[in-house]
């Protein structure tokens, strides 16, 4: 007896969304692979009946919900190979290697299953041609699995995934990893919950099961950002070790390094810097994080970011050079002190030694971007004692500024 199998190959890397579609709209049990070369292969138990209409429904639903292409494959008794191509829920092509296998067919039926291989070219590997697909379609094979292998290679689909089905995979006759879609989908939601709760043990267990780390909480924040903001150092390490995107951002911008820098979590900042260096996104991430650290007044983090190569004179994302931003934040603290009320400028800021922050920036070569009564000051030429006195002067100048109305001062005409 020959081989009987079906599968559906979806052009996506988003395993979580694929699992969600299968869990929410396909009633039967489904297995799915990890993405490889941009393809996820799905094996559905209901399709084991070899009913082409059930396979059509699966491919149509996946391609429509995921807004992509799905290529469904059916092999019957190693004698017949069929494929169906659906793009965003619409059938664009179908092929049958032996349309008259079960008896005579009309010209219209034969034409319907002839295949328009140009429809496969947008998804083919680099260098694959229309002639390659035509050759694979017309060549004589002892087993149709060989034709499946040839087609899948041209498309960049792993042949070992394309040449099997639900029953064979369930029996363990495969060398790649698969998960049940519904169970996987539940695990994804559970991972979000456990990261939010801060339960390291549960997070580790879920990640070891293969749950993807790049999920988002109800506010759209990537889990790595959530863990970084909360200072969960070991959890951050686990998420990164299992493939979390270090540069994934919250809505509106801001990645894990930005989050950890804003909260002053130095150990997490160190780990993120180590793992992120060398990436094309590293420099921009570093600069944004630097602005956040200055805004929050975390001198230790500022020093670490400076050692990582940040420009101490570039404008921050808040629009001011770092030294001016730090002085302004110190000024706010002074105003709050004058009003005898807690500082409300941000997390943990009431404990900030703003002179240390200003000194840290001066030591890194941050220049005063405006003339002084003594003329331009080259900070790099100053001694440590001179820098200390300069920091005092900057903050003393802040202290002499009249209180604005919101702090109880009188309206100023200046």
For 179-204, what is each residue's pLDDT tens digit? 888 887 788 889 999 999 999 999 99
300: CB partners within 8 A, 6+ apart = 264, 266
Statement: residue 338 has pLDDT above 50: no
Q: What is the mean pLDDT of the chain?
A: 85
Dump pLDDT digits (tens) for 287-307. Answer: 999 999 988 889 999 999 999
User: What pLDDT sits at residue 319?
Assistant: 79
User: What pLDDT sits at residue 154?
Assistant: 98
Instruction: Read off the pTM.
Output: 0.62
Confidence of residue 348 (pLDDT cuts 50, 70, 90): very low
Mean of pLDDT values over 375-386: 68
DSSP class of residue 171 equals: T
Dump pLDDT digits (tens) for 126-174. Answer: 999 999 999 999 999 999 999 999 999 999 999 999 999 999 998 888 8
Angstrom distance (rounded) from CA 64 to CA 92: 13
User: What pLDDT sits at residue 373?
Assistant: 58
Return the CATH number of the domain spanning residue range 183-280. 1.25.40.20
Angstrom distance (rounded) from CA 290 to CA 306: 8
Confidence of residue 353 (pLDDT cuts 50, 70, 90): confident
Statement: residue 97 has pLDDT above 70: yes
User: What pLDDT sits at residue 380?
Assistant: 65
Burial 296-313 (b: 16+ CB within 10 A, else e): bbbbebbbbbbebebbbe
Statement: residue 397 has pLDDT above 70: no
Residues in the chain: 414
User: What pLDDT sits at residue 290?
Assistant: 92
355: CB partners within 8 A, 6+ apart = 330, 391, 392, 395
Confidence of residue 371 (pLDDT cuts 50, 70, 90): low
Confidence of residue 214 (pLDDT cuts 50, 70, 90): confident
Statement: residue 90 has pLDDT above 60: yes
Residue ranges per structural domain of the chain: 5-176, 183-280, 311-414
Statement: residue 375 has pLDDT above 60: no
Q: Which residues pair with 78 in a beta bridge?
A: none
Provide, rounded to the nearest whole percent, the portion of the chain with pLDDT above 90: 57
User: What pLDDT sits at residue 143?
Assistant: 96
308: CB partners within 8 A, 6+ apart = 273, 277, 286
Q: Which residue stretches of 264-383 are H helix?
A: 266-276, 282-296, 299-307, 322-338, 354-363
Which has more pLDDT, 257 or 413? 257
User: What pLDDT sits at residue 102?
Assistant: 72
Dump pLDDT digits (tens) for 321-334. Answer: 887 777 777 655 54
Mean of pLDDT values over 248-263: 94
- Smallest CA-to-CA distance from 123 within 170, 199, 69, 61 is with 69
User: What pLDDT sits at residue 134?
Assistant: 96
Angstrom distance (rounded) from CA 246 to CA 279: 10
Which has more pLDDT, 35 or 396? 35
Which has more pLDDT, 393 or 139? 139
User: What pLDDT sits at residue 374?
Assistant: 59
Mean of pLDDT values over 17-45: 92
Mean of pLDDT values over 384-392: 76
CA-derived radius of gyration, the chain: 30
Element (H, E) at 208: helix 200-208
Say what the alpha-carbon torsion angle 208, 212, 213, 215 is, to the nearest 10 degrees: -140
């Amino acid at each position: 007896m020959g081989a009987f199998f079906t599968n559906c190959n979806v052009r996506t890397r988003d395993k979580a969304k694929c699992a969600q579609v299968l869990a929410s709209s396909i009633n039967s049990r489904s297995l799915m692979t990890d993405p490889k070369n941009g393809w996820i292969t799905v094996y559905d138990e209901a399709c084991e009946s070899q009913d082409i209409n059930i396979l059509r429904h699966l491919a149509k639903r996946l391609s429509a919900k995921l807004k992509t292409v799905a290529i469904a494959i059916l092999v019957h008794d190693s004698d017949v190979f069929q494929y169906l191509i659906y793009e965003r829920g619409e059938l664009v092509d179908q092929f049958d290697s032996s349309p008259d296998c079960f008896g005579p067919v009309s010209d219209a039926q034969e034409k319907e299953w002839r295949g328009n291989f140009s429809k496969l070219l947008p998804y083919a590997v680099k260098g694959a041609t229309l002639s390659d697909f035509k050759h694979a379609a017309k060549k004589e094979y002892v087993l149709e699995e060989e034709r499946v292998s040839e087609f899948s290679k041209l498309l960049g689909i792993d042949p070992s995934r394309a040449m099997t089905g639900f029953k064979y995979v369930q029996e363990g006759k495969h060398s790649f990893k698969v998960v049940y879609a519904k169970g996987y989908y539940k695990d994804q939601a559970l991972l979000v919950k456990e990261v939010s709760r801060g339960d390291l043990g549960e997070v580790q267990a879920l990640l070891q099961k293969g749950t993807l780390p790049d999920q988002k909480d109800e506010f759209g924040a990537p889990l790595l950002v959530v863990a970084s903001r909360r200072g969960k150092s070991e959890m951050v390490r686990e998420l990164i070790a299992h493939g979390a995107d270090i540069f994934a951002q919250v809505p509106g911008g801001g990645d894990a390094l930005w989050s950890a820098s804003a909260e002053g979590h130095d150990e997490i900042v160190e780990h993120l810097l180590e793992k992120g260096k060398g990436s094309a996104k590293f420099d921009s991430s570093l600069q944004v994080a630097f602005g956040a650290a200055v805004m929050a007044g975390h001198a230790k983090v500022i020093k670490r970011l400076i050692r990582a190569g940040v420009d101490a004179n570039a404008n921050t994302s808040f629009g001011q050079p770092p030294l001016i931003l730090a002085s302004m934040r110190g000024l706010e603290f002074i105003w709050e002190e004058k009003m005898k009320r807690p500082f409300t400028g941000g997390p943990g800021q009431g404990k900030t030694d703003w002179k240390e922050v200003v000194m840290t920036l001066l030591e890194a070569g941050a220049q005063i971007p405006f003339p002084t009564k003594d003329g331009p000051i080259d900070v790099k030429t100053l001694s440590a004692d001179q820098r200390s006195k300069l920091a005092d002067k900057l903050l003393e100048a802040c202290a002499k500024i009249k209180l604005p109305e919101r702090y109880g001062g009188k309206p100023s005409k200046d």
